[in-house]
């Protein structure tokens, strides 16, 4: 809800004070009322885009209350944050999954692991379960991010942990842990360039070898077909959903003529809201399989739906060569693949930078890259809300491109791909 984004009241500066009501949220300290109006948020009588309010939240993060001094801290160790008790899950790879073109992999399921508290200091991360406390150096923290209402962290050599708090924002924990990791390694002379899907260092990043991943097989021109039953059901659902989305959200596509008529391609989209993939699958005339986080395939029904729409499961918090191999195999067989380069939905409406692993794949794939910009999805349902709002949604499809050979660094490619997405329907999102 709004308190997950604005975990600091922008009126009085209180942390974790917003409480949800039917009309929106209210600060428990100063009584200020908050409500969402599309891509904007109203605070009392002032209305601003979500990202403008979030600027103030980011500025106040350094003053987060640490919660006093704890007996297990070392003499010169500084406590940065202490959590409330939350519910803990761990990932377990237990269920096989067969996808489109008979792709085989294991999907993750979340297994409950009791409850715990977490603590963050300037040098360690600690997990307390009952009377047992385990603290380890920040050097062993391999990932910090958010997933739905969970704060996700992973220690070296262990599976990812998903922690849900009763009232604290998972975004607060992602941001404060990210800053602590960056500062920790900066004191040791190393620059952290990413903390999700895992911690990456600039001095460990090698130049990308520009090669054509499809050269060995060559992309065929014929679009591979699924079984008759899957093809018929896919087409039926899309035909039924498309008019509903057009009526409910004014869904339309601009630039559809830019989609390649034959052969494989990679569709790259910005990630505004929860319904982005639904809008793309319903609006675009081609059947595209998305790379999707592994936990979305949990359960028989969800697994069936993801299989029906040709999704490829990806482990988010560790390298996943199997997912890359499946994507490459599809491209070699002429099947288009869609990917959100940001790797997660935006929190405040601003586009996030593409993930470095995704950009490396784009540099090496050797197939046309089709940029697509979704406008309006954030106003419909951002990641921190549960209430749908009827707002116009437009998909802007750009001309296919390849990343030029003159671009050799990941940073240059990040900027190049981002600009290609941003320039589509420029300023259209500001209307209304």
Residue 400's closest CA among 283, 251, 263? 263
Between residues 99 and 212, which one has the greater pLDDT?
99
**Alpha carbon distance 272, 354 (integer Å):** 13
Q: In the chain, what percentage of residues exceed pLDDT 70?
A: 95
Side-chain-facing half-sphere of 319: CA atoms under 13 Å: 6
**222 pLDDT exceeds 80?**
no
- Residue 426 confidence class, pLDDT cut points 50, 70, 90: low
Average pLDDT over residues 101-121: 91
HSE value, Cβ hemisphere, 13 Å, CA-based, for 265: 21
**Token digits of residue 203:** 């001095």
Q: At what angle do helices 300-308 and 228-249 cross, to 10 degrees?
A: 90
CB 78 within 8 A of CB 121: yes
364: nearest Cα among 213, 206, 205: 213
- The H or E element containing residue 312 is strand 312-314
Q: Is the dihedral of CA 163, 165, 171, 175 positive or negative?
A: negative
Residue 184 to residue 182: CA distance in whole angstroms: 6
Kindly report the average pLDDT of the chain as a whole number: 89
Residue 152: φ, ψ to 5°: -115, 130
**Banded model confidence at residue 205, pLDDT cuts 50, 70, 90:** confident
Q: What's the CA gap between 200 and 222, in Å, rounded?
A: 39
* CA distances (Å), origin 309, targets 106, 265, 304, 337: 18, 17, 9, 11
pLDDT of residue 429: 38
Q: What are phi and psi of 99, to 5 degrees?
A: -105, -165
Length of the chain in residues, anyone?
A: 432
Q: How many whole angstroms separate alpha carbon 49 and alpha carbon 382?
A: 13
Mean pLDDT of 325-339: 91
CA dihedral for 270, 272, 274, 279, sign (positive or negative): negative
Q: Is residue 379 part of a domain?
A: yes
Instruction: Say yes or no: 144 and 55 in one domain.
Output: no
User: Please, where are the H alpha helices in 262-351?
Assistant: 276-283, 300-308, 321-332
Domain-embedded: residue 211: no
Residue 109 in tokens: 């399921």
pLDDT at 427: 46
In 3-state terms, what secondary structure has residue 422?
helix
Same domain membership, residue 308 and residue 191: no
Residue 142 sits in which domain range?
Answer: 79-204
pLDDT tens string 356-378: 989 988 988 888 999 999 999 99
CATH code for the domain in which residue 130 is found:
2.30.29.30
Same domain, 242 and 352: yes
- Give the C-alpha separation, 65 to 236, whole Å: 53
Contacts of 4 (CB under 8 A, 6+ apart): 149, 169, 170, 171, 384
Could you tell me the two tokens for 129?
């379960």
Same domain, 360 and 253: yes
Strand partners, 104: 98
Two tokens, residue 423: 């320039």
Domain of 364, CATH number, reads 3.40.1130.10
Are 129 and 182 within one domain? yes
Q: Are 302 and 404 in contact (CB under 8 A)?
A: no
Structure tokens at 195: 């903390």
**Least confident range of 57-71, 101-115, 295-309, 320-334:** 57-71
* pLDDT tens figures, 3-56: 999 999 999 999 999 998 877 899 999 999 999 998 999 999 999 999 999 999
Is 342 inside a domain boundary? Answer: yes
Q: What is the pLDDT of residue 235?
A: 92
For helices 356-365 and 410-422, the axis angle rounded to 10 degrees is: 90
Predicted confidence (pLDDT) at residue 214 exceeds the cutoff of 90: no
With cut-offs at 50, 70 and 90, classify the pLDDT of residue 250. Answer: very high
Provide the terminal-to-terminal Cα distance of the chain, rounded to the nearest Å.
Answer: 23
Answer yes or no: do 321 and 271 share one domain. Answer: yes
**How many domains are contained in the chain?**
3
**What pLDDT shows up at residue 310?**
93
Predicted confidence band of residue 176 (pLDDT cuts 50, 70, 90): very high
Assigned domain for 238 exists: yes
Sign of the CA dihedral with 302 first, then 303, 304, and 306 last: positive
Q: Are residues 306 and 172 in the same domain?
A: no
pLDDT for res 215: 59
Express each pLDDT in 255-271 by its tens digit. Answer: 999 998 877 899 999 99
Q: What confidence score (pLDDT) does residue 55 get? A: 92
pLDDT digits (tens, 9 = 90+) for 390-411: 999 999 999 999 988 888 788 8
Q: Does 197 share its domain with 240? A: no
195 lies in the same domain as 232:
no
Is residue 68 situated within a structural domain?
A: no
Listed residues 39, 63, 87: the one ending a domain? 63
The verdict on 312 and 414 lying in the same domain is yes
Sign (positive/negative) of CA torsion 393, 282, 285, 323?
positive
Q: Is residue 281 part of a domain?
A: yes
* 258, 197: one domain: no
pLDDT at 117: 96
Of 189, 204, 219, the domain-final residue = 204
Q: Which of 196, 189, 190 is nearest to 171 (CA)?
A: 196
Q: Which residue has the tokens 């998305």?
A: 290
pLDDT at 44: 93
Phi, psi of 151 (to 5 degrees): -90, 130
Would you say residue 52 lies in a domain?
yes
DSSP 207: P
**Distance between CA atoms of residues 342 and 346, nearest Å:** 8
pLDDT at 262: 78
Which two structure tokens, joined as six digits, stand for 289? Answer: 């399989």
Q: Is there a domain that residue 321 lies in?
A: yes
Q: Looking at the structure, do residues 40 and 122 belong to the same domain, yes or no?
A: no
Whether pLDDT at 91 is above 90: no
């Amino acid at each position: 809800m709004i308190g997950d984004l604005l975990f600091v009241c922008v009126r009085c500066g209180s942390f974790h004070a917003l409480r949800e009501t039917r009309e929106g949220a209210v600060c428990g300290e100063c009584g200020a009322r908050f409500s969402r109006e599309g891509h904007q948020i109203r605070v009392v009588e002032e209305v601003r885009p979500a990202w403008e309010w979030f600027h103030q939240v980011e500025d106040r993060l350094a003053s987060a209350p640490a919660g006093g001094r704890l007996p297990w801290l070392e003499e010169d160790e500084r406590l940065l944050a202490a959590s409330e008790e939350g519910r803990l899950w761990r990932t377990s790879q237990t269920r096989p999954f067969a996808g489109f073109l008979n792709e085989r992999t294991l999907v993750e399921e979340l297994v409950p692991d009791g409850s715990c508290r977490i603590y963050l200091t300037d040098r360690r991360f600690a997990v307390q379960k009952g009377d047992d406390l385990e603290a380890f150096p920040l050097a062993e923290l391999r990932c910090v991010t958010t997933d739905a209402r969970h704060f996700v962290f992973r220690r070296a050599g262990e599976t990812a942990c998903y922690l849900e708090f009763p009232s604290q924002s998972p975004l607060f924990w992602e941001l404060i842990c990210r800053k602590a990791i960056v500062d920790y390694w900066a004191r040791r002379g190393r620059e952290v360039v990413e903390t999700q899907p895992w911690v990456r260092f600039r001095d460990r990043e090698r130049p990308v070898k520009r090669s054509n991943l499809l050269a060995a097989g060559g992309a065929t021109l014929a679009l591979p077909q699924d079984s008759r039953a899957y093809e018929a059901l896919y087409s039926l659902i899309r035909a039924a959903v498309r008019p509903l989305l057009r009526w409910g959200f004014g869904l339309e596509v601009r630039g559809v003529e830019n989609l390649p008529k034959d052969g494989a391609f990679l569709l790259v989209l910005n990630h505004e809201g929860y319904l982005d993939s639904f809008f793309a699958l319903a609006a675009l005339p081609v059947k595209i399989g998305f790379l999707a986080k592994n936990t979305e395939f949990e359960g028989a029904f969800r697994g069936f739906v993801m299989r029906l729409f040709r999704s490829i499961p990806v482990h988010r918090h560790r390298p996943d060569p199997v997912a890359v191999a499946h994507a490459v195999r599809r491209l070699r067989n002429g099947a288009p693949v869609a990917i959100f380069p940001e790797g997660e939905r935006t929190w405040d409406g601003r586009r996030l930078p593409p993930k470095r692993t995704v950009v490396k794949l784009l540099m090496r794939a050797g197939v046309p890259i089709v940029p697509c910009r979704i406008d309006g999805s954030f106003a419909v349902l951002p990641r921190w809300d549960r209430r749908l709002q009827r707002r116009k949604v437009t998909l802007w499809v750009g001309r296919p491109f390849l990343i030029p050979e003159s671009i050799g660094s990941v940073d240059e490619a990040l900027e190049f791909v981002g600009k290609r997405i941003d320039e589509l329907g420029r300023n259209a999102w500001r209307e209304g």
